[in-house]
Structures are given as structure tokens and as C-alpha cells.
Amino acid sequence: MLYASVSLPLSSPFTPKNTNCFSPSHFSEFPNKFSFKPSPTILSYCFQVRSITLPECRQNENTGTASNVSIANKPAECSNSPELPPRGLPPLVSALKASAEQNAASFHFPGHNRGHAAPASMTQLIGIRPYVHDLPELPELDNLFCPQGPILEAQKQAAKLFGSSKTWFLVGGTTCGIHAAIMATCSPGDYLILPRNCHVSAISAMVLSGAVPKYIVPDCKNDWDLPGGVTPLQVLKAIKELELEGKKLGAVFITSPTYHGVCSNLAEISEICHSRKIPLIVDEAHGAHLGFHPKLPRSALQQGADITVQSTHKVLCSLTQSSMLHMSGNIVDKDRISRCLQTLQTTSPSYLLLASLDAARAQLSESPDIVFNKSIELANEAKCSLKRIPGISVLENSSFPNFPAVDPLRLTIGFWELGLSGYEADEILDRDFGIVCELVGNKSITCALNLGTCRDHVERLLSGIKHLASTCSSIQNPKYRVLTDHALFDDIIMKLIPRDAFFASKRKVTVKESLGKVSGELICPYPPGIPVLIPGEVITERAVDYLLHVRSKGADISGASDPLLSSIVVCDVL
Ligand SMILES: Cc1ncc(COP(=O)(O)O)c(C=O)c1O
């Protein structure tokens, strides 16, 4: 499949405007809860430590406590978690513990009142402790938007470990960090160079910032029909094209590693960017673990990125939704990042999420050089065994010779030689073996290995795949059964920039009527979360055929107001 470059017949409404970020003065006026000083009497009362007096064990069936929770499938049986850190608790975890242990008469939010009114259906599931520790922005817990206490300390320790000049904890996932990174570097009308197979958050960041996309289309010409990363040459070409057209470039945005673990040569890309003082933002959602083992590729910061956003919750062990944004160098204005984050994030951040980031950092700090030993060993063993199974392909560095590395903890397994699609293989593995993978594609499935991966589960995966290989070996003409197809990006015409398309008036039309019209929605088969139609782009027959095809193969079509795709929302464009 050839991906030609995207033509952008843009009208010229892209005069830079001021951003809508808060001004620094607004930020300094933000109420600082640290001005609260409890009286000595209150203090001594507050700090009467109770070894967590859990809310009363309620007997009726509407309530639940930790003691009546039964865990059928105890993670501990397959746990790689080390013991508690010998040097004490991480700063924010420690502050949360101390705060929850106070004998407080609480008259504050959240309404479950430190678990006293926690709904039984939930406590029966997860116990009472998450509620007891689900505390608001109490003075002793610091303030995410003006950190001076344990949050500041936790963020500093994360900065030291990950090698940033400043780290922000995020409660809105990497999605929110990408929004902030792009808003902090691109004003309305500025160009943003980004891969076409970027995560949807980069597209919504362009709606928020008013940035104009200049897409780089990754090559998909490989056995896997999967997009790789972005090469330094592609970046250079895109920059030169914009320079020739006299356009203002806000930032270069690269996804590395990709969902499948393909890493781009960020060292060279950052050199190209820095020679022109252009900030390099890296979507490192899948790479928070990089750089922590000699066999793992180097992290974005180690290769010179200015901003990197990592989903700590994906490969590392924080709670879902918690991420980190790291910055380095002095091209990007750190105050602008803070203002963007304050604009984008909730004013009631969850301390469970924040503390889980601190804990994940501490877990890694304990033994940063060896913590991934076992996971990498298991991944290598699994790959060796899989490669010996007839009909099974395993994605490796050699599958993407133009890129420096593939994350060894991503296990992408291909079934096309058996005549099976990834969707079909996934269904059998899930139904018959209870194997739940991370990502399903047309030709493959991808398993994410992590610190919690255990040998039993890897062996179950191997048995499942051996079973598939033996039962499917009789499929006739397997090569013709699985169609080669991937998202089509070589005939894209952008009529409106994402922001104008987002705010344009819209209507719903039948799929047939939609051809040739301007898409009003971002339509993205999920997984893998690669947008096929982006608001503002002309709807082509090929795009529609592709979407209908992957839907028929089992992909969820996210973003489409009609997931069955019998209708599509289009922009009213004069
Ligand atoms: C490449 C990539 N970037 C960003 C994100 C968003 O991350 P989060 O779920 O932490 O918001 C994802 C999520 O899957 C992703 O795959």
C-alpha cells in the first residue's frame, strides 16, 4: 500500500491568535490551600493516629467491608510485586496514609465520607480502603496545580528517575498530557507535524489549539500491514516543505513506541528539530518503561525529546488514567504547560491516582536496572517458542528494518499463514483459553507483557496458540483467506482544519450521500485507534469501504455517531 503525501487545499483563515490559556496572574490568584493553618488544638486532635479505623462493618446486604470481600482470582498467586520499599513509603503515599489515619470528623467531599457511606456494591467488590483513601485536596495533601508539599516532592522524585527537568502528574491520562503539550507549543494557525496514525488525542489537541496538521504517512509495506514509526528523513522533508511555503511550525509530534512497540530514531529527529529550535513532543504512552533495562530501547528523554507524555498506567503499575508529562531543555515554556494542564484537568484530582503514580515511581526506583529482568526473560522465551510453531509469525526488530528497535515487551503474533485473522484468533483464545490480549488487528494480536506477567499465563498463551495452529492447519488456501488491508491515507484532502470542522454546523447523511462531502466526525476503528476519517477531510469511497470492511471483521468503530456506519455526520461547507 502506498501512502502518498496529503494535499492540504487550505483556505487562509489561520492567522495566529492568542491562546486561551490562563495568564500567569490568574494562576497566582488560584486559591492556595496551604494558607490553611489548623490551630494547635485541632492539630493534636487531627493527628491522633488510628491504625485506620475503617468505617463500621455494616451487616446488612446494602453495605460491604474489606472483610467480606472474596477474591476469586487472587493476583498474589501470580504476583511479581516486590516487598514494601525498605526506605519507607513514597511521599504522596505516605501523606495519603497519614491523612486517612486522622481521626477526623469530616464535613467535606466526597459524599461517601471516607467510606462511611460507600455503596455496598462497590465495597463488596474492592473493599472499603479505596474509599477511605479517596480524599479531596486537604491541606496536608498538597494541590496539584500549585504543588508545594508531597505532590511537589513526588513529582521531583519522578523527574529525577525519568531524567526530566520537570515532571507533572496527570489524572486525565496521556490524552490530557498530549492536549497540554500541543496547546503549549502551537498557537492557532501554527503547523504541527505529526504521523497520520497518531492517537486521537493529537487530533483533539488540534481542535483545542487551532493547530494545522502536516501529516507524515508511515510506511505499511511489510508482512504485517502495520504502520511503523516515523523516520528522520520524513521529518526533515515535512519541515523543509513547510519552510518553503513560509509556514510557522509549532512543534513536531512523534508517537514512539507505537502501539505495536515500534520505536523511531528520536535521537536523530530531535537533532533535526533542535537545529531549528523546534520542540519535539513524543507520545510515549506505551513507553514509560523504556530506558530501564539494557535490553529496552532508550527513552524519549534520553534521546533529546523536549516533552514526552507517558501512560504510567499502561506498562508501569499506576492506576488507569494516571500518566506523567516530562519536559527537558529550554525550548518549551514550562509555565505555559502548567497553565494548559490547569485548563484541561479536573479541579478535583483523585489522590488515589496521584498516589499510584508516586507508588509506581517508587516501585521502579527500588531496582531500576533489574526490575524488568523477569518480564524480558519471559517475553524472549515466549518469542522463541512461538517462532517454532508452524504457521505463526512473531513481530521482531527485523520486521521493521528502518527503525532502531521494537519494544521487547510487546508480543505481536501473526496468524495469516494459518488463514486466520487476528479477530478470529482472538475470539478463540479468549473463549477457549481465557486469554485476553491488548490489541487485535486484521492479521495479528498484540500482547502486552509487564511486571505482573507470570510464567503460567505465558504458558497458557503458548498452549492456546499451539492449539490454534494445529486446528487451523487444514484451512485451504490460507493466504487468500486473510485480506491484506490497512487504513488508507494516500488520497486525503483536507477541506477544513480540525478545529473549524469541529465547530462547523453538521448533519447526518446516508453513507452513499456522504461520498465527496466533508467528514464531521472522527471515525476510528478501535483498536488500534488510528483515525481513518478526521473532521474536515473529504469522505472517499475507499475510506468508507475500508471502515465497512474492518467493522465486518469485528473492529469497533469509535467516534462514529452511527457505529453501524449506515450514516455519517458531515460538515455543512459552502
Ligand atoms: C499511542 C497512544 N497515545 C496516547 C494514548 C492515550 O493514553 P491514555 O489512555 O493514557 O489517555 C493511547 C491510548 O491507548 C495510545 O495508544
**CATH number of the domain within which 261 lies:** 3.40.640.10
The answer to whether residues 343 and 409 belong to one domain is no
Q: How far apart are CA 218 and CA 151, in angstroms?
A: 39
Residue entry with cell 536496572:
369
> Of 168, 170, 171, 175, which is best to mutate to test ligand 1, by the most ligand atoms within 8 angstroms of its C-beta?
175
Q: How many angstroms does the Cα of residue 514 sit away from the middle of ligand 1? A: 30
| Residue 17, in any domain of the structure | no
- Residue 375: predicted pLDDT: 97
| Residue 8, in any domain of the structure | no
Helix and strand tally (H, E) in the chain?
19, 18
Task: From 306, 357, 363, 352, select the one nearest 331 (Cα to Cα).
Answer: 306
Q: How far is CA 415 from CA 283, 441, 457, 464, in A?
A: 29, 10, 20, 13
Ligand 1 pocket member 199 (CB < 6 A): yes
Mean pLDDT along residues 38-66? 42
pLDDT above 80: residue 473 = no
Mean pLDDT, the chain, whole residue set: 85
> Of 286, 309, 310, 438, which is best to mutate to test ligand 1, by the most ligand atoms within 8 angstroms of its C-beta?
286
| Residue 316, in any domain of the structure | yes
**Rounded to a whole number, what is the distance in angstroms from the first to the last CA of the chain?**
33
528-561, pLDDT tens digit by residue?
556 789 999 999 998 998 888 878 866 778 889 9
What percentage of the chain reaches a pLDDT higher than 70?
80
C-alpha cell at 440: 487485535
Q: How far apart are CA 283 and CA 258, in angstroms?
A: 9
Least confident of 217-221, 241-245, 270-274, 292-296: 217-221
Ligand 1 pocket member 311 (CB < 6 A): yes
> In the structure, what pLDDT confidence band is assigned to residue 477 with cuts at 50, 70 and 90?
low
Residue 563, preceding bond cis, omega within 30 degrees? Answer: no
Domain that includes residue 407, residue range: 373-481
The answer to whether residues 352 and 206 belong to one domain is yes
The answer to whether residues 406 and 553 belong to one domain is no
The answer to whether residues 171 and 135 belong to one domain is no
The answer to whether residues 360 and 385 belong to one domain is no
Q: Work out which ligand 1 atom sits closest to the CA atom of 176.
A: 11
Q: Whose CA is nearest to atom 9 of ligand 1?
A: 173
Mean pLDDT along residues 184-202? 95
Between CA 23 and CA 28, with CA 25 as vertex, the angle to 5 degrees is: 120
When divided into structural domains, the chain yields a total of 4
The answer to whether residues 418 and 509 belong to one domain is no
The answer to whether residues 205 and 248 belong to one domain is yes
| Contact (CB, 8 A) for 542 and 491 | yes
Q: How many angstroms does the Cα of residue 199 sit away from the middle of ligand 1? A: 6
The answer to whether residues 128 and 151 belong to one domain is no
The answer to whether residues 178 and 306 belong to one domain is yes
| Residue 68, in any domain of the structure | yes
